[in-house]
Structure 1
Amino acid sequence: MAFVQGFMIRLTAVLLFVQYCQAKTVSYDFNVTWVNANPDGLHERKVVGINGQWPLPVIEVDKGDRLVVNMYNGLGDTDTSIHWHGMFQNGTNNMDGPSMVTQCPVTPGSSITYNFTVPQNGTYWYHCHTDACYPDGYRQALIVHDNQSYFKDMYDEELTITMSDWYHELIEDIPFIRVENPTGAEPVPDSFLFNDTLNTKIPVEAGKTYLMRLINIGAFVAQYFYITDHTFRIVEIDGVYVDAQEADTLYLSVAQRYSILVTMKNSTAKNYPIVTVADSALLDVILPTLQLNQTNWLEYNSSAEYPQAVMAVDIASDLVPYDDMNLVPNDRMELLPDPDMTIEVDVVMDNLDNGAGYAFFNNISYTRPKVPTLYSVLSSGEYATNAQVYGEYTHPFILEQNQVIEIILNNQDTGSHPFHLHGHNFQVVSRSPPYGSHFYDFADGDPVAYNATENPPSSFPKYPARRDTFVAPPQGNFVIRFVADNPGVWLFHCHVDWHLMQGLALSFIEAPTQIQQSLSLTDSDISICKAADTAYEGNAAANLDDLLDLTGQNKQRPWLPEGFTTRGIVAMVFSCLSALLGMGFITLYGLSDIPSQNQQTVEDEGGGNSET
């Protein structure tokens, strides 16, 4: 046995060495500027382009490659950054990309170089992670090819498919967090795109099998996916290979990815609709002009008809997607042991003193610090293990290296939320209610929190599915686990961009002492911060002299005064506005040059218009 184990260790080392020798550096130069586009044919608008082009380039690398992206911000009026969604960034936490978390924002006229090794495999994407910039078009697929995958000989060609919601206005011009929207109703998209356009025909050959990489790069709306008269086999979710499972319908929240094997029919007599359908349950209002379902096609025969899919609009109750919790990782990683640390958070949507709607984990709405949290770690010395350094409103949790972390999330909102963890994937060990016809069961009742008595760890799957983005059902709950084996500062947040704007995020500061040993601020980091007029040392309040003094930190707005309701404060605000407008008109009237009665009479008599 010892001989066999020794042989396997040496063989693994040889394979890793061979892979390392085959690795290459893939470099891109990105000049990020505004360009014009009209992807749905309904409205031309400016979008974020790269090197004068939009859609953006699909980045393709092989597992083990080094990816180098030199980004220049030529937008002129907007800060930016790039997050490499799903990349673990082992040892390169400073390359993760979220502004004021692991870096300062890149201001117009500034540059940054992202440089990291890609030891993972699978389907990912990249997008802006500064304010709310990626819905303006700054997002695209990142594909990591792997010639060692168990299904590498099971397909003939690869295809990448993105789906997204689309707004006709710049995100900054869409009013959202305001007193006139006290419920926090998300802006409804104007259309839905497929590979950043509509009516796409994908040429295929009869009898071939294709690996289709599916990515929802939208900002808000989940989408269903199916192909008429075809089934497929799921082989990957969020970069994790799974045992092939037959399915006919998928549900992709924003930020989720699937890879599927689709075998074509042997006949070329017909073309078949590829159907994507927006989850209408997420929309507060559905305008008659909004087309929820999109038909694109597998093109077997360019001379044949391209039929439109016929379907019901209320797709949430008509289609039952494959439940991702049933997927088994191909590596057979077992359920992690009992957690060393359990974090229980409630998702709450509520109002603050300005009457607008905000989002909270428990009672905290994430508010960005004055110093990027990673830079606070690097500049706080022995205080780095004290959560107080990072400010109350980044909602920080200190994780010790290699701890098993369990997150229990109770969703008290009537909408679903896709939660994403940076720097890790996680085991999905419990969700209630499940996908399918019961997914919206709790939406009309009272929130149902996780109950360990009714759903004990003994009922968790032996080989839980793993992914980096997972959906919390409306007023339901989920439980996830991961190992804190990747020192860094990592966000955990809802990937609906509107909800992130409202503050639905928290921070993990993982193994801060180890971070200090492996990373340091560079001259480039400092110059980017100086260009952004942003502090790069000290605690969340930019205090370097007293790291436990948070005076001046950025805070969430105060809560509504006790006794005020949302309706009441809206009524009060509009009453005050009406009163101010009325007083203004009266004042203007009083100051106007109105002639006296005697003067008016004289003018009338001298006007020459009297008939007497």
Structure 2
Amino acid sequence: MFIKCELIGFIILLSSISISHTLDSYKANNSSNYNANFPHPCKRKCVKNSKPMECKFTFNVEWYQTMSKACHNCPHQIEDCFLTDCIPGDGSYRSVLVINRMLPGPKIEVCYGDEIVVDVQNELIDSSTTIHWHGHPQRGSPYMDGVPYVTQCPIQPGTTFRYRFPANIVGTHVWHSHLGMQRTDGAFGAIIVRTPDDINPHKDLYDYDEHSILITDWMEHTGLHKFLSHYHSIGDNKPTSILVNGKGKYLRFSQKDGTEVFTPIERFVVKKGFKYRFRLINVSFMNCPIEMSIDGHSFRVISTDGHDVEAIEAESLVSYAGERFDFILNANQTEGLYWIKFRGLMDCDERFTSAYQVAVLQYSNSSSVDFPEGDVDYQKTLRKGLQLNSLNKGLETADIISIPQLKSLNEPDLSLKPIPDFQYFVSYDFYKIDNPHFHKNGLYGFNEVTNNLNKVLTPQLNHITMKMPSTPLLQNRHRFKPDMFCNETTVKKCDKDFCECTHVIKIPLGNVVELILIDKGFAYDANHPFHLHGTSFRVVGMERIGQNVTVQEIMDMDKQNLLKRNLKDPPIKDTVTTPDGGYTILRFIADNPGYWLFHCHIEFHSEVGMSMVFQFGEIHEMPPVPIDFPNCGNYLNSPISQFNEPQELASFNQSESGTDHPWWYSVFSGNEKSVKVNVFVTFSVIFLKYLCV
């Protein structure tokens, strides 16, 4: 009997190794690199009642270079610009931080209900990273939100972090790095979640859904170089160019025959007589809203930030950093080539850099190498006619389409009830204060610097600069005491002195929240797009009051019922702007327990603390920490003697990881491979135990 048991045990061991090897092989085969010629299997027609797929991707994050050796003779031989690993950009030679040596990075295209699995491999030399899935609220999976020190630790160089979450939000979204200036340098890409035709309210309005437009402002230096130059010296913060799907014309290249060439621009091919769904994604990082128009064509906007709206026609639209708009183009004009024009506003306008870009709308029977007639410069990118989402305008302006005027196709929900459960005002502006990060009082304080170019104002929310904790809020929530957080009621004299703390607002789970954003507008004629993690919101109001406005003025108007609200069918978004000298009113339900970042989506502003965190619910209402979830934090030279006993160390590790599970948890936790192997081995051992007794 003993020999038989030994033999059976040996067979079980070999079988488990075989299963492990098989699953490893499956993983490798299913994580291959895909491209236009070999599309990912999850990019498919979505069919009602079909089985969801597990969609695996591998993201290699690394520093790279535009116009690298991979580009060979680009742009003199234009075909070289499309070679593998060639990133031409706008022709400028600069460092980039990219995924899989692509700009934009890999597009994720899945069906509603699929599971997205992304292994992020940090191959950076000197930096950590994270990836945020902008537009996905991560209901039930808050640890996958990708915000350093809020939902996770940064991914260290040489390590891999697996993001796994369901594709449960339909529409056009974007992924991007959420650490430092990495989005600025190219770490971004599209996420498209489609539905079966049966539940697509716009399916009869278009024939093809194949074009995505990712637009971003761009410059000749890395984001960090620009940031340090601006905040510590006399450098500016103005982008010089715009990219469309990573392409653009900016730098001129001289040919031997005396002519000049540019790097390639993007082309979108259409067939006459058909209607196309375009998905516009703004991944800009500076104060550079971008206006888009198409020569000879208008378009119908059908969705914003992944949420469907009643189709509305416009001649042009303005998008801000983080926003997405889906529109339908009717290819009903004379076959030929037409300019698609992108015009930079605010810090990109004619007062500063006149940043613009073009792409080509190419009818299928037209030339694939020629360009539309007429040269384009900044002034010629202006398009008259009805505009959606105009800069610093709201419901007070009659000849535009303001965001609250879009009509959501979603049914009214509890967030639209007359009186919210929780109302909160968030005001902001730039302030002339001694921010010690950039102006040290007594040495080079704000008023001690004589060169105005060396003065930088500090953007704040409710006069508070956000200080991120040293360890993730969500994972280590039991460590944080209420007095470790702050808000405008717990700090004093912040309108005169610099205040920096971990800015957290606690909201009871399930409350209907009304957030009133106030852009006071005293310092600059600026604009700030804001993004809320963890949930979408209804945009129920937006109006510009004047050149500037005070918080008290808005509060008084609210008491007198003078703030305009659409509580019938307002659009649903996750990113929105506020007119300078005005307000925007948001409504949402705080029903997704966790810690959720709310921040300006201009990279420089977010990096210097223009953000805050909303805590939805009590800490016991938040999902448990995943097993083996990586942790981090300060180390302040604790006496080593406290770790002498193995029992104490084991207890410490258990409490630090936030996990306290029964014996069977490890059997059914982990990735797909470990679960199958664990289950096989566990039940085999049980069988062997009873056989050998």
Amino acid in structure 1 at the alignment position of 2:543? S
Residue 168 of structure 1 is matched in structure 2 by 220
Deviations 1:54-92 (A, max 9, x none): 431111111111000011100111110000001010010
Residue 365 of structure 1 is matched in structure 2 by 465
Residue 297 of structure 1 is matched in structure 2 by 360
1:519 aligns with 2:624: yes
Deviation at 1:282, TM superposition (A): 3.3
SS at match of 2:169: coil
SS at match of 2:483: helix
**Aligned ranges 1:91-240 → 2 under 5 Å:** 91-147=140-196, 148-158=199-209, 159-174=211-226, 175=228, 178=231, 180=233, 187-198=237-248, 199-220=265-286, 221-240=288-307
Deviations 1:422-451 (A, max 9, x none): 011111111112xxxxxxx83478886362
Residue 347 of structure 2 is matched in structure 1 by 282
Q: How many residues were matched structurally?
A: 497
1:473 aligns with 2:579: yes
* Aligned-partner Cα distance in 2 for 1:55–1:312: 24
User: How has the CA–CA distance of structure 1 residues 130 and 522 changed in structure 2, closer, same or farther, with 3 Å as cutoff?
Assistant: farther
* Aligned-partner Cα distance in 2 for 1:56–1:50: 5
Amino acid in structure 1 at the alignment position of 2:309? V
1:327 aligns with 2:406: yes
User: How has the CA–CA distance of structure 1 residues 390 and 248 changed in structure 2, closer, same or farther, with 3 Å as cutoff?
Assistant: same
Preserved CA contact (<8 Å) 2:129 2:156 = yes
Amino acid in structure 2 at the alignment position of 1:117? P
1:485 equivalent among 588, 591, 597: 591
Deviations 1:164-193 (A, max 9, x none): 101221112222563546xxx961112111
Residue 395 of structure 2 is matched in structure 1 by none
Deviation at 1:124, TM superposition (A): 0.2
1:510 aligns with 2:647: no
Deviation at 1:348, TM superposition (A): 2.5
Deviations 1:130-181 (A, max 9, x none): 1221111001111111122111233222210111101221112222563546
User: How has the CA–CA distance of structure 1 residues 444 and 330 changed in structure 2, closer, same or farther, with 3 Å as cutoff?
Assistant: closer
Q: CA RMSD in A?
A: 2.9
* Aligned-partner Cα distance in 2 for 1:325–1:477: 12
Residue 549 of structure 1 is matched in structure 2 by none
User: How has the CA–CA distance of structure 1 residues 53 and 228 changed in structure 2, closer, same or farther, with 3 Å as cutoff?
Assistant: closer
Deviation at 1:326, TM superposition (A): 1.2
SS at match of 2:379: coil
SS at match of 2:630: helix
Preserved CA contact (<8 Å) 2:135 2:574 = yes
SS at match of 1:449: helix
Deviation at 1:228, TM superposition (A): 1.3
User: How has the CA–CA distance of structure 1 residues 200 and 253 changed in structure 2, closer, same or farther, with 3 Å as cutoff?
Assistant: same
Deviations 1:472-504 (A, max 9, x none): 111211111100011111011110111101211
1:424 aligns with 2:535: yes
* Aligned-partner Cα distance in 1 for 2:61–2:598: 27
Residue 422 of structure 2 is matched in structure 1 by 341
- Aligned-residue sequence identity (percent) comes to 29
Deviation at 1:21, TM superposition (A): 5.2
Preserved CA contact (<8 Å) 1:80 1:129 = yes
SS at match of 1:328: coil
User: How has the CA–CA distance of structure 1 residues 333 and 171 changed in structure 2, closer, same or farther, with 3 Å as cutoff?
Assistant: same
SS at match of 2:151: coil
Preserved CA contact (<8 Å) 1:35 1:53 = no
| Structure 1: stretches of 5+ with no match in the other structure | 1-17, 434-440, 536-544, 546-612
Deviation at 1:307, TM superposition (A): 2.5
* Aligned-partner Cα distance in 1 for 2:322–2:349: 21
Amino acid in structure 2 at the alignment position of 1:361? L
Preserved CA contact (<8 Å) 2:98 2:185 = no
* Aligned-partner Cα distance in 2 for 1:511–1:104: 22
User: How has the CA–CA distance of structure 1 residues 224 and 122 changed in structure 2, closer, same or farther, with 3 Å as cutoff?
Assistant: same
* Aligned-partner Cα distance in 2 for 1:82–1:314: 37
Deviation at 1:294, TM superposition (A): 2.0
User: How has the CA–CA distance of structure 1 residues 21 and 320 changed in structure 2, closer, same or farther, with 3 Å as cutoff?
Assistant: closer
Residue 271 of structure 1 is matched in structure 2 by 337
SS at match of 2:154: coil
Preserved CA contact (<8 Å) 2:348 2:355 = no
Amino acid in structure 2 at the alignment position of 1:442? G
* Aligned-partner Cα distance in 1 for 2:375–2:568: 39
Residue 608 of structure 1 is matched in structure 2 by none
User: How has the CA–CA distance of structure 1 residues 153 and 487 changed in structure 2, closer, same or farther, with 3 Å as cutoff?
Assistant: same
User: How has the CA–CA distance of structure 1 residues 186 and 331 changed in structure 2, closer, same or farther, with 3 Å as cutoff?
Assistant: farther
* Aligned-partner Cα distance in 2 for 1:306–1:200: 13
